[in-house]
Amino acid sequence: MTTRLTRSIILSAGIALLITAAYYWLLNETRLLKKAPKVTRYQAEVNIRLGAPENVTSPVADVQKCIAIIDDRLTQVRYEHTIKPENDKTFTISIDGLTDTTGLKELLTGNGSLAMQEVYDLSVFANTLSSANNALANYFRSHPEDTLLRQNSQLSTIEYPLLSLLNPARPFTGGGGGMVYPGYIGLVAEKDTALLRQLLEHPAATPYWPADNRFMLGKNDGYGVTQGTQLVYSIKYHPPRITNKNIIRAEAEYDGSTNEQVVAMDFDPAGTAEWERMTTRNINKPIAICLNDKVMSAPTVTMAISGGKSRITLGRSTDNEHGKILSILLKSKELPLQVQVNQAHFSPARPQIPAVWPYALLFMLSFVIAMTVQWLIYRLNKN
C-alpha cells in the first residue's frame, strides 16, 4: 500500500510538473497564448524647472499647484513615480514603468491647448503659391546680400525657392465625381520645416496669402504621406470658439475598422452647438483639429454633426499610451507656470518577475486531478 501510494504521488507530481512547464512554454515562448506583443519599459529620471521668465518671482502657491497637476497627470497614466524637490523651483521626477519616452515631455510641460479651426485648401493657393515663389525668386536675385540667402546656399542656385521645399497637395476624385482637395496644402521634409516657415513669412511672400491666414504643421493624416515629411496647413486663424473648456470627456480608444488610435471627445452644450454650426457651414470641407498650434487631424466634413462628439486620429500604433497622454492633457487643468525639462535620462526597467501563484495553483490542480484519476482506476480494478 505504501509503495503504491508513493508511486502515485511521484507520478502525479511528474504529470503536474509537465503540465505546468508546458503551460509556461506556451505562454512565454510561443505566440499561441500571447494576447499582445511585449512592450519595452523604461525607468526615467527627469529634472524639471518651474517658473515665469527670468527675474520674475514665482509664487509658492503656483509652484505647489503646478506640482499637484503634474502629479495628477502621472497618476492618471498609472506611472509609478516620485517627485523630489531640489530647491524651490527645481524638482527631480523618478518614473518606473514608462513605455512612451517621446510623450513624457508633452505630459510634463504641455497644456493641451485645443482649437477647432477652419482651413484654406489648395483650391485657394493653386495660383498664389506660384506667384509667391516668383516673388521670392525675384527678391533674392535683386538682393544677393540677403541673410537668408547667404545662410542657405541652395536658395542661390534654384529658381523655385518656395516650391523646391513645398510639394503642393494633389486633389482626388470624390464620391460625386468632383475634385476634392485634402485639408493640407502641401508637404515638406522635416529637415526643411524651419526654412520653409521663413520663406512663407518672408515680406516678399506674405502679400499673396489671405489676411487671416496662419500656416501650421501637422503629422500624417492618413493620406499615405512619405515618412520624414510634415503636412502644411493654411488655417483661417480666429479666436477659437471650441477649446478645452468645452470638453467634458476625452478618452483614448482604438478604432478596429481602421486599426488607428483615436481620442474621442464629448463637448458641453455650448461646444455642441458651436460644433454643429461649424460642421454645417463646412460640409465637404476640412476642419483642422489643432493642439498646441499643431494640426493633429483635418477630416473632411460630410454632414452636420450634432450630439457634440468629435475625435482626434493619432494613426496606427500598438501602444495606446500616446492616446492616454493626449486625453489627459485635454482634460487637465492649465499649468500656472512654465515647465522646462532640464535633463531626462532613460534606462531599461528591471525585468518584472512573473507571478508564481498561477503556476503553483496549476501544479496543485493538476496534481489533485492526477491523484484522483489514479484512485478511480485503482478502485475500478479492485472491484
374 falls in which pLDDT band (50, 70, 90)? Answer: confident
Q: Which of residues 321 and 307 earns the better pLDDT score?
A: 307
63-79 pLDDT, tens digit per residue, is 899 999 999 999 988 88
The answer to whether the predicted template modeling score (pTM) of the entire model surpasses 0.75 is no
Residue 301 DSSP class: B
Point out which residues pair with 344 in neighbouring strands. Answer: 46
Residues 180 and 277 in one domain: yes
Q: Is a pLDDT exceeding 80 seen at residue 219?
A: no
Read off the pLDDT of each residue in 115-133 and give the average, rounded to a whole number. 88
Please report the pLDDT score of residue 39 as a whole number. 54
Residues 300 and 160 in one domain: yes
Go through 219-233 and write b for each residue having 16 or more CB atoms within 10 A of its CB, e for each that does not.
bbbeeebeeebbbbb
What is the number of structural domains in the chain? 3
| Lowest mean pLDDT, pick from 53-67, 109-123, 169-183 | 169-183
Read off the pLDDT of each residue in 150-172 and give the average, rounded to a whole number. 82
The per-residue DSSP string of 326-356 comes to HHHHHHSPPPSSEEEEEEEEEEEPPPPPPPS
Read off the pLDDT of each residue in 133-137 and give the average, rounded to a whole number. 93
Please report the pLDDT score of residue 21 as a whole number. 81
| Lowest mean pLDDT, pick from 17-31, 114-128, 190-204, 259-273 | 17-31
Residues 172 and 267 in one domain: yes
Residues 50 and 148 in one domain: no
Q: Amino acid identity, residue 40?
A: T
Q: Is a pLDDT exceeding 60 seen at residue 370?
A: yes
Q: Are 97 and 55 in contact (CB under 8 A)?
A: no
Residues 122 and 66 in one domain: no
Read off the pLDDT of each residue in 188-199 and give the average, rounded to a whole number. 92
Residues 285 and 174 in one domain: yes
Residue 127 DSSP class: T
Q: Is a pLDDT exceeding 90 seen at residue 217?
A: yes
Residues 178 and 96 in one domain: no
197-210 pLDDT, tens digit per residue, is 999 999 999 999 99
Please report the pLDDT score of residue 69 as a whole number. 92
Q: Percentage of the chain with pLDDT > 90?
A: 24
47 falls in which pLDDT band (50, 70, 90)? Answer: very high
256-289 pLDDT, tens digit per residue, is 777 777 888 899 999 999 999 999 998 888 888 8
Q: Amino acid identity, residue 189?
A: A
29 falls in which pLDDT band (50, 70, 90)? Answer: low
383 falls in which pLDDT band (50, 70, 90)? Answer: low
Read off the pLDDT of each residue in 96-105 and give the average, rounded to a whole number. 79
Residues 23 and 47 in one domain: no
Q: Which of residues 64 and 110 earns the better pLDDT score?
A: 64
Q: What is the CATH number of the domain that holds 211?
A: 3.30.1360.200
Q: What is the CATH number of the domain that holds 87?
A: 3.30.70.3400
Cα(313)–Cα(100) distance, rounded to whole angstroms?
18
Range of the domain at 183: 115-331
Residues 73 and 97 in one domain: yes
Residues 230 and 94 in one domain: no
Residues 327 and 341 in one domain: no
Residues 317 and 171 in one domain: yes
